Every structure is written in structure tokens, then in C-alpha cells.
A and B are shown apart, each in its own frame.
Chain A
Amino acid sequence: MSEMAQTAEEATVRRPDLSNARLRKRYAAERRFRLYGLLAVLAAVGMLAVLLGSIVLNGYSAFLQTHIALDVHMDETVIMAEGDTPEAMADANYRALVFKAIERRFPSVRDMGEQRELHRLVSGGAPRAIKDMVLDNPALVGTTQTVWVKADDEIDMLHKGYVDRTLPENRRLVNDRTLGWYDSLREADLIELQFNTTFFTGTDSREPEQAGILGAAVGSFLTLFVTLLLSFPVAVLAAIYLEEFAPKNRLTDLIEVNINNLAAVPSIVFGLLGLAVIINFFGFPRSSPLVGGIVLALMTLPTIIISARSALKAVPPSVREAALGIGASRIQTVTHHVLPLALPGVLTGTIIGMAQALGETAPLLMVGMVAFVVAVPSGFTDASTVLPVQIFLWSDSPERAFVEKTSAAIMVLLAFLITMNAVAVFLRKRFERRW
């Protein structure tokens, strides 16, 4: 002891190096570090901007649709050929009316083959639009109306500038003859872009100009509803039990590890499970929001359990002590104090889990939600598809016009996701309480 004290006294006093060189070095290191951080943030923002920018640039035009003005003569002999009851009028040959209107616009086209090409200027959905018009207002019969009908998707692409006119005819989407007709319509101001309501009210279609996302959006909504209904109560109860009541032993440790593992299982595995167990064993209807929702609920469960547990864990023990100390039972402590305080975190986790489920594709492919569905699903057992699968389907379609639809559908999906996350942030801010 005394020896050590002696050496301590004898040792030369070492003072910190306070030179400017050291200082400069430290400052430089700090500046460098901040710069790296800033660069990383800029890189991330840049990539996001490129991603969003390309989607928006590709997709914005899908919200507009090229329309052609046609003077359609509502020929009585055609519409009332089978009688003047609404049923008979609905069965009439409106296609002929549309074709005749186009032919009248281009009287010089006489050849049958060329006429067939001419008919393809307008969308296959145009006769239906005329029919709806007439059925809505039977007084139109016998008159001649100027109707803006949808152009075919190739004309739409041409009008939106996606067709390169300098290419030789055989490599171009639109041939020279059609190009001439288009130019003549354009000079006469009979062709223009209008808002594409079909995109929001229609369902999937082989014709790009008639394809819409309503069916997929409703499918997504139904699927997520099932998911929420199944996963939220189960996950929250599981989290409360594990966090507040379960004894800490090897079994609960094992459960905890497995829940964490479950969160990392590739989602397609859940799809296989759904196919093997829910569809093949239990015989639930294939392609239905019910099955999709069950599969997504299985996938979302661990996410919600983990976030709910961490929200419960974040509630300070002093709150529990206060409640227990005043004689609240454990259930009362949880339901009156701990859970309300943890609720913002639980809800945030749930919404993030739901957003994840909304964007999930792979497991739904396995349970058959990849089907081509042209009807809006009206129940949980109807065949339907969901937004991300619709995006997948459209991105796979050969028609040029589906490129913009794909991007537009992605924009709609992103809008849903951003809304959900905004709700999560709002709930957290609104109900967050300090202690």
C-alpha cells in the first residue's frame, strides 16, 4: 500500500494533451461523421424520389382516358327492333349504331377489312355506354347525339404520346392508316383526354381502357377486414397474457422465441399453409377474401403481438404498483390502467401490421386470389383479388396501356398505405399520455 503510494508520488504528472492539433482532428472527425450521415439521408431520399417519381410519371396518365366524339344516330329501327320494352331495348344491337357512326365520320372507307380496322378506333365498351344512355333516357331514341365514347387503348396510347411515329409501320403499335384517321379526328377536335372514372369504378378487364381497380380495392378491404377481426383480438390477448400474467419460465421463453421466429417466416409459407389446411382440409372457398384474410391474419399475428408486448412493456411499473397498491386486482390493473396507456402503441402496431398485410402478395397467390375476376366481390366468400395482386396481374399483361394502369394502381395502393400510416401517427399523437 505504502509502496504504491510512493510510486504514485514519484510518477511524472501526465496532463491531457490540449494542443490545437488534437482539437482540429476531433472537429474534423465530427464534421466528417455528420457529412456521412447527411449523405446517407440524401441517398435514401434520392432513391425514394426516383421510385415515386417514376411511378407517378408512368402512372398519372392512367387517370385520364382518350375519348372520341361520335355523332351517333339513335336509330329507332335498331333499338326497337325487338319491341319498346326496356328489356327488348337492352338487347338491341348498339354495336351497329356505334359502327355506323364511325363509318359516317369516314365515308371514304369502303373496304370491309379497312372498315373493321376503323371500328377498332373506339373501345369495345362504347356500345354499352350508348345502351346505358338510351335506357336512362328513352327520349333520345330517334335523335342524333354527339357522344364522347372511349377510344381504344391503342389510340389512347397514341394520343398520350406513347407511340413513336418515326418507327417503321411494322414495328409500330398503330399502322399508317389508323394514324391518318387519328390525325383527321384530331384536326377536327373530335378527340380529347377526359377524366378516367372507369379506373375507379371498373373491375379487371382484358381491355385496358375498361379496366378498373374497384374490384381489387373491395377485395382488399374485405380481406383486411377479416384479417383485423381475427388477428387484433387474438394478438392483443396473447400479448397481455404473455406480458402481464404468464409466469417467466422455459415454456414462455420458448413461446416468445417462436413468436419472433414466426414474424420472420417468409410470407409465401403462410400461403402454402392456407392452401393445404384452410382450402384443402377445411374446404373453404378458394380465391375468397375469407381465406386470404385468414392467411394474412396468421402472418400479421406475430407483428401485432410483438408491438403490443413492447407497448405494454413500456408502461412504467409504477403504474401497476399504484393500482395494485390500492387494491386493484391484476385484471383491473391491466384493463383500467396498463392497457389504456399501451393502447396507442398497440394500435400503431396493429395498423402497421395491417399495412403490411395490405401490401402482401405472395401468400394470396397461393390461395388463388390471383384469379381474373371481373365482378366486384359482394361477400367474404366471393372470388376476388386484392390491390397488390391486381398490380402483379397488370404488370404481367402484354398491352402497352397496362403499363400506366400498373403504376396508377401502385399509386392508389400507396395512397391507402400512407393514409393508414398517417392514421397510426395521428392515433399515437392523440392518445399518447405522459406519466
Chain B
Amino acid sequence: MAELQATAAATEIPEATGASPDAGSDQPAKIAARNVNVFYGTNQALKDIDLDLGGNEVTALIGPSGCGKSTFLRCLNRMNDVIDICRVTGRITLDGEDIYDPRLDVVQLRARVGMVFQKPNPFPKSIYDNIAYGPRIHGVANNKEELEEIVVTSLQRAGLWNEVKDRLNVPGTGLSGGQQQRLCIARAIAVSPEVILMDEPCSALDPIATAKIEELIDELRGNYTIVIVTHNMQQAARVSQRTAFFHLGEMVEADETEAIFTNPKDERTLGYITGRYG
């Protein structure tokens, strides 16, 4: 027992020393954004964003519609690359590695940084194939048994296994909205990413399905770095450890979730969380 505690203490030491001073967290920043600007054509969507996202915790991005929080999220796995007119400047690092480095392969980046979208978007294939697709294209499994194991554990982790174990061959699109979203989460974690980005994952779901997803996010926190965009401030308060408030393309304030909701430093944050605008 004493030995166990000793190793635990030993593993904590490098973490504590490695923590960046401005992260405001005991852990080193998993993702660090510095001077990030995003332009859609001539329209600037994000202005000089500096933000650190800690490992193994949930960071919520909140703010009124059009404030750029989804844009920021999509910068983190370079989903904005698909948009022709989108231009990103600044520096975003994942474990100290610049993700906009032209030598970095975007496919490998996205295998490390998974994403869950606002609207559940399972492939119009079977539940099994939905989960197995990622491991297949990334060569995660060496044989059929390994692949099956990945599918099962992914579904279990996403809390969907008990509901679908008898019908892995039915189309994923035939599930209910909440199940579809958990299927998408299972699909994302099947390739064992380090970071999961969630873009308003519950906005299309009813309260019960939302509660299940939130529970799931809380469980996943131990193994993944999660960044969640949400319009629902209660949700941000419930699931996140840190919260960043975005407004009109600027990152106004980022702090411990509790601090943001109880004692915001900026007036705009206070206005937003008390419902005066947004």
C-alpha cells in the first residue's frame, strides 16, 4: 500500500514540474494555442486566441452564437482545411508539436484528435462497421479477433454495448438520436485518440440522452483530453473542469469552471452567464 502511494507520488512529480505557469492547472497543457487568427475570406472569425487545454480534463468552450468557438474547435484537428476560403495563422501545438506544420500529416493528426459532431452522423453502415472503420483504415487491429475486441470495448466505453449487442449488423442510422451520438463517440474512441473534440454533442438530443452523454463524458475524462463546445451553460458547469468564454471572435476569459461561473473576472462573461445577452 505504501509502495503504491509512493509510485503515485512519484508520477505526480514530473507532472507538477511540467505544468506551464499560465495553464492554471496542475497538468501540462496538452494543446496550446498561441496567437491563433482564423479568416473566412476577408472576414476574421478568431482574433489572437491564446488558450491552453489541459490533459485528462474537460474544457468547455462557451459563448454566444457566431463567437468562433466551433471554429476554434475545428482548428484543433484541422477540419477547417476542407473549407477553401479558410485561413489559419498562429501556432497550435499538440504535445509541443505544431499541428499546422506542413510536414505533419493531417490524417495522423486526426487519428490522435477525434471529433464528435453536433448532429449525430453515423455512416449509413452497420453498427459494427461504423466502429470498425477507423481501426481498419489506421491499421489498429491485426486480425479479425482484435478488431472485434476493439468494437466491443469501444461500445462498452460509450455505454452502448448493452443496447446494441444483439444487433451489431443493423444500420447505425436506425438507432435513436442519443444512441447515434454515443455510437459516434464510440467510433471516435475506437482509434484511441488522445483528444476528443465535441461540437455541441447534445444540442440535437432530449434531456435523458443528454444526461447519458454527459455521464459518458465524465467517465471518458480519465483517459482522454476532451474539449466540448456547448450552448448550455449548465452543461458546461456540470461536465467541465475548465471553461473558456468566447465573444465576437475573442477569447475573453478562461479559468477553472467554478471560478468562471461564480466569480468571472470580465464583465462580458458575467453578462453572458447571467443571461443578459447571448
Interface residues of A in 313-353 (CB under 8 A from B): 316, 318-329, 332, 336-337, 341
Give bound CA distance, A322 to B133, whole Å: 11
Give bound CA distance, A328 to B133, whole Å: 9
| Nearest A residue to B134, CB-CB | A326
Q: Does A282 contact B (CB under 8 A)?
A: no
Known contacts A248-B84, A322-B123, A341-B124: does B173 contact A327 (CB below 8 Å)? no
CB atoms of A321 and B123 under 8 A apart: no
CB atoms of A336 and B79 under 8 A apart: no
Give bound CA distance, A332 to B137, whole Å: 8
The contact of B173 among A324, A328, A332, A434, by CB within 8 Å, is A434
The contact of B111 among A318, A322, A327, by CB within 8 Å, is A327
Contacts of A281 in B (CB 8 A): none
The contact of A324 among B82, B138, B171, by CB within 8 Å, is B82
CB atoms of B110 and A327 under 8 A apart: yes
Contacts of B171 in A (CB 8 A): 433
CB atoms of B124 and A323 under 8 A apart: no
Contacts of A326 in B (CB 8 A): 110-111, 114-115, 133-134, 137, 187-188, 191
A contact face: mostly helix, strand, loop, or mixed: helix
Give bound CA distance, A337 to B133, whole Å: 11
Contacts of A318 in B (CB 8 A): 117, 119, 121
Contacts of B187 in A (CB 8 A): 322, 326
CB atoms of A324 and B79 under 8 A apart: yes
Give bound CA distance, A368 to B53, whole Å: 73
| Nearest B residue to A325, CB-CB | B115
| Nearest B residue to A328, CB-CB | B137
Q: Does B54 contact A (CB under 8 A)?
A: no
| Nearest B residue to A315, CB-CB | B124
The contact of B124 among A248, A324, A434, by CB within 8 Å, is A434
Which of B117, B134, B137 counts the most A-chain CB atoms under 10 A from its CB?
B137
CB atoms of A327 and B138 under 8 A apart: yes
Interface residues of B in 160-203 (CB under 8 A from A): 171, 173, 184, 187-188, 191
CB atoms of A435 and B124 under 8 A apart: yes
Q: Does B122 contact A (CB under 8 A)?
A: yes
Give bound CA distance, A318 to B119, whole Å: 8
Interface residues of A in 343-399 (CB under 8 A from B): none
Give bound CA distance, A336 to B138, whole Å: 14
Could you give, for residues 82-119 of chain A, a 1 whenever the CB lies within 8 Å of some chain B CB and a 0 otherwise? 00000000000000000000000000000000000000
CB atoms of B84 and A325 under 8 A apart: no
Give bound CA distance, A434 to B109, whole Å: 30
CB-defined A-B contacts under 8 Å, sample of 14: A247-B84, A318-B119, A319-B124, A320-B82, A321-B82, A322-B117, A322-B122, A322-B184, A324-B79, A325-B110, A325-B115, A326-B111, A332-B137, A433-B171
